[in-house]
């Protein structure tokens, strides 16, 4: 008797040599903290088939060495002396909204629930483009009944435990 997950993988990913299945929890936590930059790296130590045999041949130490080498190479490429840039509250809001509502203003109905009028903004751009235009509109007072503060309050209703959103509320 095969599990539903096994059937799903066989039907939709039978061509895959390896499938990453443990990072979702980490990425879910990262999404709840959008101001924290995060990176998930995994070393592939075995294939979908013959997992036990591959583990027995020492594939896990080999995979961990590869991912560690990649990580240190990645760190070497980072700008270690770059100045820390303090984002303005409206840029912080754009960044947070893009992570919490990546599809844009219509995602979970946030814009309408917060009192916004979708006809005032272009919806034919990316989620980030929509948020940048919408926040600029609100910053200049063109949001009708919607304000930056009411948008943050509506976001807190969806994400009541999100510290980044709570901190933003004090800025508006």
Q: For residue 81, is pLDDT > 60?
A: no
Measure the CA–CA gap between 41 and 65, rounded to whole angstroms.
Answer: 12
Measure the CA–CA gap between 55 and 59, rounded to whole angstroms.
Answer: 5
Q: For residue 82, is pLDDT > 60?
A: no
Q: Quick check: 152 and 84 in contact, CB under 8 A? A: no
- Of 43, 34, 70, 50, which is closest to residue 155 (Cα–Cα)? 34
Q: Is 80 exposed, middle or buried (0-12, 13-18, 19+ CB in 10 A)?
A: exposed
pLDDT at 8: 80
pLDDT at 142: 81
Task: Locate the domains of the chain by residue range.
Answer: 4-77, 89-169
pLDDT at 52: 66
Report the percentage of the chain scoring pLDDT > 70: 84
Which range has highest mean pLDDT (47-56, 73-82, 88-97, 148-157)? 148-157
pLDDT at 19: 65
pLDDT at 157: 94
pLDDT at 114: 93
Report the chain's mean pLDDT, rounded to a whole number. 82
What are the φ/ψ torsions at residue 14 (nearest 5 degrees)? -65, -20
């Amino acid at each position: 008797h095969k599990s539903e997950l096994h059937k799903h993988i066989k039907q939709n990913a039978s061509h895959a040599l390896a499938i990453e299945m443990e990072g979702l929890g980490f990425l879910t936590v990262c999404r709840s903290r959008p101001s924290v930059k995060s990176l998930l790296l995994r070393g592939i130590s075995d294939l979908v088939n013959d997992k036990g045999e591959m583990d027995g041949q020492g594939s896990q130490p080999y995979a961990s060495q590869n991912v560690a080498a990649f990580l240190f190479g990645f760190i070497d490429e980072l700008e270690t002396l770059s100045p820390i840039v303090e984002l303005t509250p409206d840029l912080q809001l754009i960044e947070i909204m893009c992570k919490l509502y990546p599809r844009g203003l219509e995602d979970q109905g946030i814009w309408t629930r917060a009192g916004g009028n979708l006809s005032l903004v272009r919806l034919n751009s990316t989620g980030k483009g929509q948020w940048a235009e919408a926040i600029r509109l609100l910053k200049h007072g063109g949001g009708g009944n919607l304000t930056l503060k009411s948008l943050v309050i509506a976001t807190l209703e969806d994400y009541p435990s999100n510290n980044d959103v709570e901190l933003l509320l004090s800025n508006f």
